[in-house]
């Protein structure tokens, strides 16, 4: 690049930018984000480069179709200048930050305003099966429709060879892997480990919603997962006991639990038993609210 990171706001500019990179023989990496860029997002860019992407495009788009009317779409942090600097530091060649109208067209923006629609029954139910139906899908019924819609559009706009997603959103990663398989997208989906603060809190754009005391209590999420891993390593194979332990740790900090489960790492179906199961195939997943301020998710392999 040499002359700094490029900001692209139009789909046509992205296509042109990608065509130029391809003419230099480069592989293309895509890192979709909603901005408020942090070390977690930066790790995805670095991973895309490690996977051979000579040109990495990060998208920064607070996607209205994945928020329900009661969620934080308006409040979601928008920090494009800082995002550009952080993405440049990580090694991205360009940031694609379209307006909602550029992404979806005026008609859709208008219909969302008029009807309050945030989603329209798209790919997630058609293709992603149980991975989209359970857990987050149950609590946020239109969420994965919005996610699969925007990510499939990004795949069509950018045409990446490799797309990196964080295990932080473990269910989203499973849904998108399934979508790519079901819809024959010709690209590699790479799942990347959760980046954590030193004290264990999973880095998230939503952490800024918490004050110091709430943040301290939120450490129970990662602590409960660590305890579950330790118990599994010590031979605990009783799912009920592991889940009770997680719940007790969360409840001790007065967190409201949305769900806390041990699931099959590929189908996300709950596991009844861990006898004979490799810890790497089992995932502890959880979602909890800190007061009514913020809803946090976290997960960990039992291995
Ligand atoms: P978001 O901007 O929150 O939609 O996240 C964009 C991408 O970054 C998703 O693939 C997330 O899973 C990933 N991500 C967010 N936080 C982290 C983290 N702490 N570690 C790794 N990946 C993350």
Cβ atoms of 57 and 14 closer than 8 Å: yes
Is the whole-model pTM more than 0.85?
Answer: yes
pLDDT score at 291: 96
- State the closest ligand 1 atom to the C-alpha of 203, by its place in the atom list counted from 1: 19
Q: Tell me which residues have their CB closer than 6 angstroms to ligand 1.
A: 33-34, 40-41, 43-44, 165-166, 168-169, 192, 194-195, 202-205
CA of 40 to the centre of ligand 1 (A): 6
**What would you report as the CA-atom Rg of the chain, rounded to the nearest whole angstrom?**
19
CA of 2 to the centre of ligand 1 (A): 27
- Between CA 196 and CA 189 the distance in angstroms is 22
Burial of 134 (0-12, 13-18, 19+ CB in 10 A): buried
pLDDT band at 128 (very low <50, low <70, confident <90, very high): low
- Quick check: 69 pLDDT over 90? no
DSSP 208: G
- Between CA 133 and CA 293 the distance in angstroms is 25
pLDDT score at 111: 58
- Between CA 135 and CA 269 the distance in angstroms is 9
CA distances to 56, 64, 102, 295 from 71, in Å: 30, 10, 22, 10
Q: Is 300 helix (H, G, I), strand (E, B) or coil?
A: strand
CA of 197 to the centre of ligand 1 (A): 14
- Between CA 81 and CA 216 the distance in angstroms is 29
CA distances to 62, 137, 156, 265 from 145, in Å: 15, 9, 17, 21
pLDDT band at 124 (very low <50, low <70, confident <90, very high): low
């Amino acid at each position: 690049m040499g002359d700094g990171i490029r900001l692209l706001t139009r789909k046509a500019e992205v296509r042109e930018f990608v065509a130029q990179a391809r003419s230099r023989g480069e592989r293309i990496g895509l890192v979709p984000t909603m901005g408020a860029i942090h070390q977690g997002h930066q790790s995805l860019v670095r991973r895309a480069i490690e996977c051979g992407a000579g040109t990495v495009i990060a998208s920064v788009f607070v996607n209205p179709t994945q928020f329900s009317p009661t969620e934080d779409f308006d409040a979601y942090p928008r920090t494009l200048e800082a995002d550009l600097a952080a993405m440049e530091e990580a090694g991205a060649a360009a940031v694609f930050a379209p307006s909602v109208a550029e992404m979806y067209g005026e008609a859709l923006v208008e219909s969302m305003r008029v009807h309050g629609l945030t989603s329209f029954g798209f790919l997630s139910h058609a293709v992603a099966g149980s991975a989209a139906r359970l857990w987050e899908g149950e609590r946020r019924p239109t969420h994965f429709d919005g996610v699969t819609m925007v990510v499939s559009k990004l795949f069509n706009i950018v045409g990446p060879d490799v797309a990196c997603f964080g295990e932080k959103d473990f269910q989203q990663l499973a849904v998108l892997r399934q979508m790519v398989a079901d819809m024959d997208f010709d690209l590699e989906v790479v799942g990347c480990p959760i980046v954590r603060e030193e004290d264990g809190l999973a880095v998230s754009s939503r952490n800024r919603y918490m004050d110091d005391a709430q943040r301290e209590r939120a450490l129970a999420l990662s602590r409960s997962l660590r305890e579950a891993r330790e118990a599994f390593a010590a031979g605990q194979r009783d799912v009920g006991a592991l889940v009770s332990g997680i719940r007790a740790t969360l409840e001790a900090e007065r967190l409201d639990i949305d769900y806390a489960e041990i699931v099959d790492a590929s189908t996300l179906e709950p596991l009844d038993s861990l006898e004979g199961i490799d810890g790497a195939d089992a995932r502890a997943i959880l979602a909890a609210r800190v007061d009514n301020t913020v809803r946090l998710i976290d997960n960990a392999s039992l291995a």
